[in-house]
Every structure is written in C-alpha cells, then in structure tokens.
A and B are shown apart, each in its own frame.
Chain A
Amino acid sequence: MVEFETLKDLIKLAKERKCKIGEIVWEYEAEVEGVSKEFVWNKMVKHWDVMKRSIENGLKENFELPCKIAKRYAKKFLKGKKFFLDDFMSKVVARALAVSEYNSAMGLVCAAPTAGSSGVIPAVIYSAAEKLNTSEREVILGLFTASGIGLIIANKASIAGSEAGCQAEVGAAAAMAAGALVELANGKPEQVDHAVAITLKSIMGLICDPVAGLVISPCIKRNAFGAVLAFLSAEMALTGVESLIPADEVIEAMDSVGRLMHPDLKETARGGIATTPTGERIREKVFKEGSLEPK
C-alpha cells in the first residue's frame, strides 16, 4: 500500500524505488480509489486534454469577460513587443492569461487546484513540454507529481482562498507546477522539495481579494505571475539552490499564516484591492446597475 502524508514521505518512496514521484502518486491513486492504474492514467489524460484545449480556446475563441470593466489581454500580450522577456517566457505568460480569461468567461477548464488558479499548471506544463520535447507519458507523470504535491498541501494546509487566501490557490498551483517541472527536467526528488519550498516561501501570506467578489481581478494576472514563479523556483532548484526550510515545514507555516489571516482577506472581497476606491466603484457598478449580464 502506497501511503504518504508529507513531501518527505513521497521523496523517500521515490528514492527507495528509484522512480519518479509521479509514478508513486499514480500508484497511490489507483490503490486509494480501488481502480486499475490504466483507468487512472486515462482519466489524467482526459484532464490534460481539457487543459490543452483551454489554452487553445483561451487564445482563439471569440468571447468576452463577463464584466465590462475587464478586457482580455492574452493575445495582446503574446503579440506585443517585449523588452525583457524572451519568447518562451512570453508564451508562458500568455497561456496562463488565456486559460484564466477563458475560465472567467465560463469556459471549460480543469480546476488545478481551483478554477481561479486553473491557468498556472496548463501554461507551465504545456510550455515546458514544448521546449524540452517531452513525451506525453512524461507530461502525464508530471501531472501526477503536481497532484501529489497538491494533495499534501490540501491536507496539511488548504487549497481554498476562503480558508487560507491566494497563497493556497495560485500559491499552491505554482508549487505544484514547480515540482512537476523539476521532474520533467529529470531532476532529483530532493530538488522537487526545494522547488516547492522556494515557491511557497515567495508567495507566503498572499491574500485573496477579488474585486467585486469576481474571479477576474486580481486572479487572472496572478495566474501569469504564478506560472513565472514556478519556472523561477524550479530553475533554482535544478541548479542546486536549496531552501533552508524544508517544504513540509513551509506548508505548515502556510497553514498557520492562513489561519491568522483576517476573514476580510479571504475571498470575502472586504479587503485588499477589493476595497480600494476603484475596487468599490466597480463593485457598485457591477451590482447596483446589474451591468454584469454575461454576453
């Protein structure tokens, strides 16, 4: 029986068996649900298909955000002249924006770990696989790695903005993606730990403050930020940069920070940018005039 409570457990198992973390998580899921490994694999492939389609649709499909205050930027960003980011990073950002925009407009997405943070993992994994020429098998294993990390975060801390702020949504998504990146690049299991720790430390305490309570601002752009952060942490870990604090302890810290966080900063839209003068004005416009009817 494959059992793990912490990232340390997962890493130990992977080292003992000389395999990837993703393979352990794959086996765990089959056991815990009492189904075949093949069934689990095919289910993940289906989830990956939805992720890929959400990138495509987010860049292509003709849709509007369900709010006149917000525009779509994914395509514009992709085409715009860049001063600092290279082609690769620009694509990562555009793809994260695309999925998040598509999500806001009631598109079909795969929550990862939530709908609000659903842009990070598709953008990161898709772009990395494209660059490294990764086989589909390795990509799916990477998604298992990511979900194993997410499972630990969910049970030791939270993956809900209403419980622990955005560190638990975009933060968790970025940590999951960073860990998967390390495995896609054939890094060591310990490097997964460092990548997760570095990510969560960087985003520790991020509040959830959606303007007018809608999954638009700051959510969409935060997905792009989460995607970039995942590459940054993974690259650091892969070059041998280590986190002083192990990931499991960072996750515990994230949990206690989430508990200390004032309810106004946890999805209630009663703090942060939601209550800035502009944020309040948008809320009023949206709700009093009912100008929000999605097209």
Chain B
Amino acid sequence: MKRVESIFEIIGPIMVGPSSSHTAGAVRIGRIAREILGGKPVKATILFHGSFAETYRGHGSDKAVVGGILGFSTDDLRIRDALEIAEKEGLEIEFKTVDLGEEYHPNTIKIVLEDSSGLKVWIVGSSIGGGNIIVTEVNGFEADISGDYHALITIHEDKPGMVAKITAILAKYGINIARMKVSRVKRGALAFSSIEVDQEIPLEVVHEVEKVEGIKLVRALKPI
C-alpha cells in the first residue's frame, strides 16, 4: 500500500464532488489522456468498465472525464458543465460501457482521443481510491503513470540504447528519476517508456529527446 506522507492528502484535495474515486480520479485520467495527445482533441470515445460502467452518471464521472479531457483540474467548477462546454468547443464525444475483463480494476476507463490532424491516443486508466489513479496502458503499450509526478513519455523504435539516450538527456539537466516503465508489444517494432521524475521537465529536454533518432512521440506531463 502506498504510504501517505502529505497531510493535504488527508485534508484535501479541494475538489468537485461527489466522489474522490469516481469524480476526482476520473478528471485526472481524462487530463492525462489530453496531455499525452498534446493538443486539442476533436473526438473522444470514453469507455467505462466495471463499477464505472454502472455508476458513472450518478457520480458525474462522465462530466469529470470530459472535464479532464478539456484540461480542467479536479477543483474546477466548470466540470459541472463539461458536456456543454465540450459541445461548444466542437469536441465530439461518445460514451460506451465495456467489459475489459477480470484483470482490470473495477474503476477503469478507456479513453480514445483524436486531434484534427488525425493523431490518435488511447489510454486505459484506473481510479484506485482517494483520487489516486494509475494509467496502465498507452496506445496498447503497458504503462505505469500515477499523475503524481512530472513525467516524460516517449514512443520510440525498439532498438538498443534508446532508453539510455533519453535518461542521459534527463541526467544532463540534473533531473532525478523516481519511477520508470519500459514496454513493447513486439520485439524490434515500437517501444514505450514513461519516466516519472522529481523536477519539472524543461522544454529543452523535450526538444532534445525529439531529436534522438527513432523517437516517434515525446510528451512532458505535469503532476495532475
């Protein structure tokens, strides 16, 4: 079990109700999807699994996820009107329920986002209690993103030395790695890495990583 250190995890977060897991957690998962897409989404498909599938309306999880996709934080009252705001911004939304299988946490959401250039990002995230979340899949790759840290996300060609090059750039900027996850679907094709770090990731790091040969996508996420 994760140790709670800050008292503001006990008194706090300041959030739009009614449920830490079904509302605040849902906002955060939506927000991570948006950050990984990296720009304004024009289409969102939201699939609710397990307990989320049963109760998403009553907890406002639908508005919460959309609020996150719009870039809101958990304490943004605009979450209440997220569906209307999305419509005004020209974001097309589809809600579905889905059975992802027993191995998924009961509070799990799958989000598929698309921007106007046709870039598509899909993630699977679970709300594991008290507003804490874990994103376990990004575009089919196994991931491990908590949203509590700054994180560098990459999709790159699966060849030797890629991760070393990325971590070397982080080291050059004095950025300390807290947690890291590397995964691939098939050997020699594409691979994914999520590196959670202690400091904010400057734009220069993103630009430098982008220049590494074989990198397909880089995103710097902030704690959400």
Contact = CB atoms under 8 A, between A and B. Distances in A.
Interface string A183-227: 000000000000000000000000000001111100000000000
Interface string B27-66: 0000000000000000000000001001101111001000
B177 to A, nearest CB: 18
Contacts of A268: 51, 106
B24 interface: yes
Given A115-B15, A212-B58, A151 B63 contact: no
A171 to B, nearest CB: 14
Interface in A73-123: 102-116, 118, 121
B81 to A, nearest CB: 10
A241 to B, nearest CB: 26
Contacts of B55: 212-214, 269, 287
B75 A108 contact: yes
Interface residues of B, number: 37
Contacts of B15: 108-111, 115
A110 B7 contact: no
B58 A214 contact: yes
Interface string A128-164: 0000000000000001101110110011000110110
Contacts of A46: 14
Contact of A106 (B12, B14, B18, B51): B18
A147 B16 contact: no
A43 interface: yes
B130 interface: yes
Interface string B111-135: 0000000000000000001110000
B19 interface: yes
A292 interface: yes
A162 B79 contact: no
B19 A148 contact: no
B58 A151 contact: no
B60 A151 contact: no
Interface string B98-120: 00000000100000000000000
B17 A47 contact: no
A218 B153 CA distance: 42
Interface of A: 25, 28-29, 32-33, 43-44, 46-47, 50, 66-67, 102-116, 118, 121, 143-144, 146-148, 150-151, 154-155, 159-160, 162-163, 176, 212-216, 268-269, 286-287, 290, 292-294
Interface of B: 3-21, 23-24, 51, 54-55, 57-60, 63, 75, 77, 79-80, 106, 129-131
24 contacts: A25-B7, A29-B7, A33-B5, A66-B18, A104-B17, A108-B16, A108-B17, A108-B77, A110-B11, A110-B14, A111-B12, A113-B130, A115-B23, A150-B10, A154-B4, A155-B4, A159-B10, A159-B130, A162-B21, A213-B55, A213-B59, A214-B18, A214-B58, A286-B57
Closest 5 CB pairs of A and B: A103-B17, A150-B10, A147-B7, A213-B55, A215-B18
